[in-house]
Structure 1
Amino acid sequence: MPTRRDLVAGAGLMGLAGLAATGRGARAEQRPGGAFRTEDGLYRQPWFLDSFLELGPDLADAAAAGKRLAVMWELRGCPACRDVHLVNFAVPAVADYVRTHFAVLQLNVVGSLEVVDLDGETLSEKALAAKYGVRGTPTIQFFPPSAEGLAARPPREREVFRIVGYHEPETFRRMFAYVAEDAYREMPIQDWLRG
């Protein structure tokens, strides 16, 4: 069965459809460090993933680029979400590390855009957040480098790690490193951060 990605690529409109699919193409307000506010009120980084909102292909594309997929859940008006963008990602070492090692897909925890989950189920952003037990913002989910076998697992067991809430820039960067360096396979995050 063709995906949205296949249909758009076949029509030769991939770049425009990527922006339309996320509903976040228009920049309403530019901020220092590159962050901007979109029409839906979320802050966004210009290097975030423009996606057809199909998690399986997004994970595969990230792996092909030598990156890991991270899904960042946010909410309009969330001060901690704003600080991730205007404080953490304004630190070049943080933004460069995340951009180099991760494809970051931004989703709205109460959003209505349709997302195709790793098991093929199509849900609204809000329903997908509920399926994965995402209750607060910001929440960042990290997935393994391959989707193999993930569809058969319960949703929370598909992730390898999750960041909940705001963390200072260096701690935030080290949490991403915890996943990029596969340290989650060997030790708890608390030990990693102390090391």
Structure 2
Amino acid sequence: MVTRRQLLAPALGAVIAASSIPAAFGKARLGEDGLYQFDWYVESFLDLADDLAAATRDGKRFAILWGLRNCPACRRMHEVYMADPKVEAYIRDHFAVLHLNILGSREVTDFGGSRLTEKRLAAHYGIIGTPAIQFFPRQADDLAARPPRDREVARMEALPAQDGFLALFQQVVG
């Protein structure tokens, strides 16, 4: 005869094993603003030149992730794509990610010193949907003199298939 203890032991073992996964992996939280956040996303004074310089000092690439409250693709990106420890670790180790709200009202200082709300900055760069990710060069040397779209080295304008998501980040690093 099988006891309840014997039946529940494998399930208990799985729970214990799952709890030993490092806390940083797959733990996006939904912020008060409705955007998903990871603890490793950039805490910023919203000055893009400073954020890019800090990323470069840390040996990382600077990227802006544009999101929106209740965005199904943003949710999928955070809860499925980035829940993969390999994907999250790669992005965390190689990128400084600033998460902005495409309709947000916080003031952001652009590379040339202009102060725009998140919403106006998104329009300035031609960001029209979420999630979108802008990838910037390692140096801000002449970014202010370039047209906004020419400041980027790559852009994700819509959520790709899951197998292409990590490949995009790897391409930018390479």
Q: Normalized against structure 2, the TM-score is what?
A: 0.84
Residue identity matched to 1:73: W
Q: Which residue of 1 aligns with 2:110?
A: 117
**C-alpha distance in 2 between matches for 1:157 and 1:167:** 22
Equivalent of 2:145 in 148, 152, 161: 152
Between structure 1 and structure 2, the one with the greater Rg is 2
Residue identity matched to 1:83: R
Equivalent of 1:100 in 88, 93, 96: 93
Shift, 1:170, TM fit: 3.0
Q: Which residue of 1 aligns with 2:124?
A: 131
**Aligned sequence identity (%):** 53
Shift, 1:165, TM fit: 1.3
Q: Which residue of 2 aligns with 1:82?
A: 75
Q: Which residue of 2 aligns with 1:53?
A: 46
Gaps spanning 5+ residues in structure 1: where? 1-31, 182-195
**C-alpha distance in 2 between matches for 1:170 and 1:34:** 20
Structure 1 runs, 4 residues or longer, greater than 3 Å off = none
Residue identity matched to 2:112: D
Q: Which residue of 2 aligns with 1:23?
A: none
Shift, 1:157, TM fit: 0.5
Secondary structure class of the residue paired with 1:175? helix
1:91/1:169 contact within 8 Å kept? no
2:67/2:99 contact within 8 Å kept? yes
Q: Could you report, residue by residue, the CA deviation over 1:105-162 in whole angstroms, capped at 9, with x for unpaired residues?
A: 0000000000000111000000000000000100000000000011100101000100
Aligned pairs, number:
150
**C-alpha distance in 2 between matches for 1:95 and 1:33:** 7
1:68/1:145 contact within 8 Å kept? yes
Q: Which residue of 2 aligns with 1:91?
A: 84
Q: Which residue of 2 aligns with 1:8?
A: none
**C-alpha distance in 1 between matches for 2:63 and 2:163:** 18
**C-alpha distance in 2 between matches for 1:46 and 1:170:** 24
